[in-house]
Amino acid sequence: MTVRVVSYNVRAFRDGRDRVAAVVRELSPDVLLLQETGARWQLRRFAASLGMGVARDPWTPFRRRVKNAVLVAGPSRLGAARLVRFSRATRRYPRGALMAQVHTNVGLFWAISVHLGLDGDERARQVEELGRLVGTLDDRAVVVGGDLNVTPDRPSADRLAATLRDVWREAGIGEGATFPAAGPAARIDYVFVRGPVQIRRVSVGGPGAETASDHLPVSADLALDGL
């Protein structure tokens, strides 16, 4: 079974929810890992317009939200999901990982949407926490997608690539720059995998993506027959 996973920082839909939806429809993902999802009602309407199930951060009246989400298209479906908040993040910009089980007709795997901080020391701590989190999961396949706010030559991205497989390094062509969308100069958005996964194809962008957000989406076609 081949699953298309897309990771996409949608900038809170500030450039237009319909624009983002049009990009996603063209890419036709089975699993969509979002960052900066904006208001809850925006995310809810976005998912409904695509006919996708959505797992997002739980409601809380006392803390700022970590605006990551995992969306799944049928016939696959979402299973258990939870948000893990990274420790010692700034109060203004909390960070974390939204993780969800994705049930397919050949088994299930873990999907994780992550958004790391801007400060180097903070980012290094978050990479360590993410690594420990992935290490607590069972031996099923894991797919991690997100905005790392760092290029591949920097320590945080390199540290993740030492324990997870960076799909662009294995199957991407060219630099794979994702930011800024209108004139990409840096690869800061990634998809990583762990476990019984074959990487078939990886690409960046899509029709209309240069004006839908300030990031380009990363798409990965993954063979999961070994689940």
- What CA–CA distances, in Å, run from 18 to 126, 215, 217? 32, 16, 15
CB neighbourhood size of 128 (10 A): 14
pLDDT (0 to 100) of residue 65: 86
- What CA–CA distances, in Å, run from 159 to 58, 123, 126, 142, 166? 29, 11, 11, 17, 11
pLDDT (0 to 100) of residue 226: 62
pLDDT (0 to 100) of residue 155: 87
- Per run of 10 residues, the mean pLDDT along the chain (length 227 residues) is 96 97 98 96 97 91 86 96 85 87 91 94 92 90 96 90 94 95 97 95 97 98 81
Q: What kind and span of H or E run contains 126?
A: helix 120-136
pTM of the predicted model as reported, rounded to 2 decimal places: 0.96
Residue ranges of domains in the chain, CATH in brackets: 2-223 (3.60.10.10)
pLDDT (0 to 100) of residue 16: 97
Tokens of 46: 């976005």
Rounded Cα–Cα distance for residues 53 and 73 (Å): 6
* Torsion 130-28-215-14 (CA) sign: negative
Rounded Cα–Cα distance for residues 33 and 54 (Å): 10
Residue 182's Cβ-count burial label (10 Å; 0-12, 13-18, 19+) is: exposed
Q: What kind and span of H or E run contains 114?
A: strand 107-115
